């Protein structure tokens, strides 16, 4: 192995070790409430200067802070910011589940709840309706924003700059002959989504699969998720979806209300 390659390997290993030690420090502070540099250094078996350097990096990010008794550290409020998105996803899943169960029964198709993650829509939960004898499990799956009903809802309600950024990274890949791959056409469709309050996809991700989605809002009015119903095109037709749209929108509003929206 060359000296350069060896150096890169050592640097990489050292970086992983530093991350591991930083996490250990936060676990120590979570367990004890507060601790000093000497105590932390002894616990993670490093020199005091190394512990001080790690604490400094964590403090710069707001993940730890010094107590009034200088030299002692505790967890910082920066963790609240990081935990917020996870907490919201957990809240969305918990608060939407009873509504999704009812919607699946009333609509008869598979109901999903999805949120924006990076440049994808990720499904957090799924309930199968009585008509869905077999259905693909979408939970945890990252799906394209421009080719899914949930993705279109999530795209429609972000500001134009962020939407452009998301689509620039994601691209407008064609999945079926019906996939919208024109940015102009998609923008016009998203304007319609905002106007009518729901999104449709007609065999745009998979041939034979249609879907309908509506926005879920937080207490501040921000769209934080989308609730969707999907089924086979021969049964869940465009006409059928438009008939059921008010029911799904009402369900989305109920979930929003449960979230404080």
How many other C-beta atoms can be found within 10 angstroms of the C-beta atom of residue 250? 12
pLDDT confidence bin for 245, thresholds 50/70/90:
very high
Residues 181 and 72 in one domain: no
Q: Is the pLDDT of residue 198 over 90?
A: yes
Q: Are residues 68 and 99 in the same domain?
A: no
Are 86 and 108 contained in the same domain?
A: yes
C-alpha to C-alpha distance for 51 and 56, rounded to whole angstroms: 9
Give the C-alpha separation, 53 to 58, whole Å. Answer: 9
Q: Which tens digits make up the pLDDT trace of 68-123?
A: 766 788 888 777 666 655 555 657 777 788 899 999 999 989 999 998 888 888 88
**Do 72 and 159 have their domain in common?**
no
Q: What value does the mean pLDDT take over residues 167-182?
A: 92
- Reply yes or no on whether the pLDDT at 6 is more than 60: no
Residue/partner pairs of 242-248 with CB below 8 Å, 24 or more apart = 242/200, 244/107, 244/212, 245/196, 245/198, 245/212, 245/214, 247/103, 247/106, 247/107, 248/103, 248/107, 248/198, 248/212, 248/213, 248/214
Residue 52 and residue 91 in one domain: no
Residue range 210-219, pLDDT digits in tens: 999 999 998 7
Q: What is the mean pLDDT of the chain?
A: 85
Threshold 0.95, pTM exceeds: no
Query: Span 5-15, mean pLDDT?
Result: 44
Q: How far apart are CA 91 and CA 87, in angstroms?
A: 6
Domain that holds residue 190: 82-258
Domain shared by 62 and 34, yes or no: yes
Q: Convert the pLDDT of each residue in 41-65 to its tens digit.
A: 998 999 989 988 998 899 888 888 8
Task: Look at residues 76, 104, 126 and tell me which one is the last residue of a structural domain.
Answer: 76
Domain final residue, candidates 52, 76, 100: 76
Domain of 111: which CATH number?
3.30.450.40
Q: Residue 211 contacts by C-beta under 8 Å, 6 or more apart in sequence?
A: 148, 149, 150, 200, 201, 205, 228, 229, 230, 231, 236, 241
* pLDDT tens digits, one per residue of 133-142: 556 677 778 8
Q: What is the CATH number of the domain that holds 40?
A: 1.10.10.10
Give the domain-ending residue among 61, 76, 91. Answer: 76
For the chain, the straight-line distance linking the first and the last C-alpha, in angstroms and rounded, comes to 59
Residue with more model confidence, 78 or 261: 78
27 lies in the same domain as 146: no
What's the Cα-to-Cα distance from 111 to each of 17, 160, 192, 229, 256, rounded to whole Å? 43, 28, 22, 4, 16
Give me the mean pLDDT over the 246-255 stretch: 94
Residue with tokens 């924003």: 145
Max avg pLDDT among 31-40, 57-66, 225-234: 225-234
Q: Number of folded domains in the chain?
A: 2
- CA nearest neighbour of 19 among 69, 67, 54: 54
Residues 49 and 126 reside in one and the same domain: no
């Amino acid at each position: 192995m060359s000296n350069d390659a060896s150096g890169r390997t050592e640097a990489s290993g050292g970086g992983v070790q530093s991350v591991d030690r930083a996490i250990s420090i936060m676990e120590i502070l979570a367990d004890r409430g507060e601790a000093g540099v000497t105590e932390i250094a002894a616990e993670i078996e490093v020199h005091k200067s190394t512990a001080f350097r790690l604490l400094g990096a964590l403090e710069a990010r707001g993940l730890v802070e010094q107590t009034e008794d200088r030299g002692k550290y505790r967890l910082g409020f920066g963790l609240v910011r990081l935990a917020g998105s996870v907490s919201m996803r957990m809240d969305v899943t918990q608060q939407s589940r009873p509504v999704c169960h009812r919607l699946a029964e009333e609509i008869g198709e598979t109901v999903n709840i999805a949120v924006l993650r990076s440049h994808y829509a990720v499904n957090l939960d799924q309930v199968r309706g009585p008509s869905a004898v077999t259905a693909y499990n979408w939970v945890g799956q990252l799906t394209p924003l421009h080719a899914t009903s949930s993705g279109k809802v999530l795209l429609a309600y972000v500001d134009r700059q962020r939407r452009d950024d998301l689509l620039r990274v994601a691209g407008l890949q064609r999945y079926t002959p019906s996939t919208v791959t024109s940015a102009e056409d998609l923008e016009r469709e998203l304007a319609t989504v905002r106007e009518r309050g729901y999104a449709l996809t007609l065999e745009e991700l998979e041939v034979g699969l249609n879907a309908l989605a509506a926005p879920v809002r937080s207490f501040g009015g921000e769209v934080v998720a989308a609730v969707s119903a999907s089924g086979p095109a021969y049964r869940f037709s465009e006409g059928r979806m438009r008939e059921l749209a008010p029911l799904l929108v009402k369900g989305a509003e109920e979930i929003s209300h449960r979230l404080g929206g």
